[in-house]
Chains A and B, each alone.
Chain A
Amino acid sequence: MLNSGINVIIEGVNMQRLLLGLAVTVRIAFISIILGSLLGILLGLIRTSKSKVITFICRVYLEVFRIIPILVWLFIVYFGVTNLLNIHLDGEIVALIIFSLWGAAEMSDIVRGALESLPKHQMESGLALGLSFWELYRYILIPQAVRRMLPGAINLSTRMVKTTSLVVMIGVIDVVKVGQQIIERSVLKTPTASFWIYGLIFVLYFIVCYPLSKWSKKLEAKWEN
């Protein structure tokens, strides 16, 4: 074990640095998930509107985020837009903006799908009771839609956590970047450093994402009936 190089994980402040890097990753992901979900729910509700113009605009927004790689989005805003407007934006701020907008786009589609999957009769029997538009959403449609969209929303959250690893490319020091720095510094002394450090990062991502996907499976099973 002494020569395997596993010690590189706990050498000096390596572990603390990795955990601080993980905190950056989790912070970006968490804030983006919250902001993206709020905006996405709103957009999803708007997308069920009957206005063709509004749904078209929302649809374009969704597709633009789906088609263009997130990395390109990060570059456009971090390098391109800041250059054009002659301002400086912190990498983490750019990451938060892009991930929130992406989350909102995907979330809006999940919300729309959930709302549209509800039987039309539910809406009609609500209307027949004299519910107003907002009461209909508040008491009948949203509570039922939430159950249908949670598995998808949780799945989206784990995708967002994983995709935050791209922020390295715009200079944000996340858990992956910290790992690279540690490896570069220790590789002469410990040739197997990349295995151990990336292995640890692998485990850290797993620890963050696994409970989420486990939770989504549990909810799915619970609400199946």
Chain B
Amino acid sequence: MTIEEKHQVLLQINGLHKEYDGTTVLDDINLSIHKGEVVVILGPSGCGKSTLLRCMNGLEKIQGGEIVFSGKDLTDKNVDWQNTRQQIGMVFQNYDLFPHMTVMENVLLGPVKVQKRDKAESLEQAEQLLKRVGLFERKDAYPRQLSGGQKQRIAIVRALCMNPQIMLFDEVTAALDPEMVREVLDVMLGLAKQGMTMMIVTHEMGFAKAVADRIIFIDAGKICEIATPDEFFSNPTTERAKQFLNIFQY
């Protein structure tokens, strides 16, 4: 990746406003995410960080502001969400593999049925990705036969197989047994090293510190602080961030 590409803005959020039934959830969010950048969003529960991620691929409608992804305005009424979502991979807290499909069918659904790509080529890519997360030998298993950590790794592969330009991770380890958190975070760290652009919502502070290029701290629907992980964890500037970090210290 050249320096120029690295500085290219992939996702630009301007004055985003989101409310549910008159209650403001996100207020005046301004953020730009560059190609290859890993942004970790932190904040107390209910602060709107998951909602922010969900606005990025249209799972939530926004009431104001704009989101420009790869040069396209996603607030445009005529935006082709099907096409856009193929370029924005998302992984959820509850993995949400399709229970009636095998691992391989889950992974191939996007490339083959949605993107109508060549089956053999997709299969090869899927096999490589599964090998990379160490689950190739489970390709014919059904989701119910897998552990939580395995399911979540498959969910990541399923999103990656669409060749997205950005990956959104919504508290992907929050529902996992603590013993299985590591295996999922390792996969994400590997992706970050390969230069994948990522937006990550997490409560794993150690991981946030290790993976992030920038930390975005959100409280009560507003961005309170944007900083590098070193600055944020050693020397947070806002009182809210200090309080928040204190909770994680024993």
Scan residues 74-112 of chain B and give those whose CB is less than 8 A from a CB of chain A.
81-86, 88-90, 92, 94, 96-100, 109-110
Minimum CB–CB distance from B157 to chain A (whole Å) comes to 12
Q: Does A122 contact B (CB under 8 A)?
A: yes
Question: Among A130, A135, A144, which residue has the most Cβ atoms of chain B within 10 A?
Answer: A130
Shortest Cβ distance from B80 into A: residue? A130
Check if A131 sits within 8 Å of B59, measured CB to CB. Answer: no
Check if A122 sits within 8 Å of B110, measured CB to CB. Answer: no
- CA–CA, A127 and B85, complex, Å: 8
Q: Does B193 contact A (CB under 8 A)?
A: no
Scan residues 155-204 of chain B and give those whose CB is less than 8 A from a CB of chain A.
155, 158-159, 162
- CA–CA, A135 and B85, complex, Å: 14
With A135-B113, A135-B114, A139-B113 already in contact, the answer to whether A128 and B59 are too (CB < 8 A) is yes
Check if B98 sits within 8 Å of A122, measured CB to CB. Answer: yes
With A124-B59, A139-B109, A144-B100 already in contact, the answer to whether A130 and B94 are too (CB < 8 A) is no
Check if B96 sits within 8 Å of A122, measured CB to CB. Answer: yes
Check if B96 sits within 8 Å of A132, measured CB to CB. Answer: no
Scan residues 102-151 of chain A and give those whose CB is less than 8 A from a CB of chain B.
119, 121-122, 124-132, 135, 139-140, 143-144, 147
Q: Does B131 contact A (CB under 8 A)?
A: no
Minimum CB–CB distance from A150 to chain B (whole Å) comes to 13
Shortest Cβ distance from A143 into B: residue? B100
- CA–CA, A217 and B185, complex, Å: 43
Check if B162 sits within 8 Å of A129, measured CB to CB. Answer: yes
With A125-B96, A129-B110, A147-B100 already in contact, the answer to whether A225 and B82 are too (CB < 8 A) is no
Q: Does B57 contact A (CB under 8 A)?
A: yes
Q: Is the interface of A mostly helix, strand, loop or mixed?
A: helix
B-chain residues with CB within 8 Å of residue A121 when the two chains form the complex: 92, 94, 96
Check if B92 sits within 8 Å of A125, measured CB to CB. Answer: yes
B-chain residues with CB within 8 Å of residue A139 when the two chains form the complex: 98, 109, 113
Q: Does B72 contact A (CB under 8 A)?
A: no
- CA–CA, A82 and B109, complex, Å: 52
B-chain residues with CB within 8 Å of residue A122 when the two chains form the complex: 96, 98
Chain B: interface residue total (CB-CB under 8 A): 29
Check if A130 sits within 8 Å of B110, measured CB to CB. Answer: yes
A-chain residues with CB within 8 Å of residue B59 when the two chains form the complex: 124, 127-128
Q: Does B7 contact A (CB under 8 A)?
A: no
With A139-B113, A140-B98, A144-B100 already in contact, the answer to whether A128 and B90 are too (CB < 8 A) is yes
Inter-chain contact total with CB atoms closer than 8 Å:
65
With A122-B98, A140-B98, A147-B100 already in contact, the answer to whether A132 and B82 are too (CB < 8 A) is yes
Q: Does B6 contact A (CB under 8 A)?
A: no
The answer, among B82, B97, B100, B155, for a CB contact under 8 Å with A130, is: B82
Shortest Cβ distance from A132 into B: residue? B82
A-chain residues with CB within 8 Å of residue B85 when the two chains form the complex: 127-130
Give per-residue flags for A213-225: 1 if the beta carbon is below 8 A from chain B beta carbons, else 0.
0000000000001
With A125-B92, A135-B113, A139-B113 already in contact, the answer to whether A130 and B98 are too (CB < 8 A) is no
Minimum CB–CB distance from A134 to chain B (whole Å) comes to 11
Question: Among A121, A126, A127, A129, which residue has the most Cβ atoms of chain B within 10 A?
Answer: A129
A-chain residues with CB within 8 Å of residue B144 when the two chains form the complex: 225
Sample 21 A-B pairs with CB under 8 A, ordered by A number: A119-B94, A122-B98, A125-B90, A125-B96, A125-B97, A127-B85, A128-B88, A128-B90, A128-B92, A128-B159, A129-B110, A129-B158, A130-B86, A130-B115, A131-B114, A132-B82, A135-B114, A139-B109, A139-B113, A140-B98, A144-B98
Residues of A within 8 A of B (CB): 119, 121-122, 124-132, 135, 139-140, 143-144, 147, 225
Per CB-CB distance, the 7 closest pairs between chain A and chain B, nearest first, are A125-B96, A130-B86, A130-B85, A128-B90, A121-B96, A129-B110, A130-B114
New A-B contacts (11) at CB < 8 Å, excluding given A127-B58, A129-B114, A132-B82? A124-B92, A125-B155, A127-B85, A128-B59, A130-B81, A131-B114, A132-B114, A139-B109, A140-B98, A144-B98, A144-B100
